[in-house]
Amino acid sequence: MKTSQNIQNYLEINGPSTVAEISVALDRTKADIREQMGQLLAQNRVERLTANRLDTPGRPAARFTLIHKTPEPLVKGLISGMLGFLNVNELDQEKEADFIELIINALMSNFQPRGYSSASRMNQAVAYLENIGVRTTWVATRSGPKITLEHENISNLFKNPALSKKVVKQLIQKVKEKAVGN
Q: 30 and 117 in contact (C-beta within 8 Å)?
A: no
pLDDT at 27: 93
147-173 mean pLDDT: 83
Topology of the domain covering 3-66? Arc Repressor Mutant, subunit A (1.10.10)
Instruction: Report pTM.
Output: 0.57
pLDDT at position 164, please? Answer: 82
Residues 6+ apart with CB under 8 A from 125: 111, 113, 138, 147, 175, 176, 178, 179
**Mean pLDDT, residues 18-31:** 92
* 158 or 167: which leads in pLDDT: 167
Helix ranges restricted to H, 15-112: 19-26, 30-42, 72-85, 93-108
The packing angle between helices 19-26 and 3-14, to 10°, is 110
54: pLDDT strictly greater than 60: no
Model confidence pLDDT, tens digit, residues 117-132: 888 889 888 888 887 8
Distance of alpha carbon 153 from the chain centroid: 17
User: What's the mean pLDDT in 2-18?
Assistant: 88
- pLDDT value, residue 173: 93
Q: Is 147 helix (H, G, I), strand (E, B) or coil?
A: strand
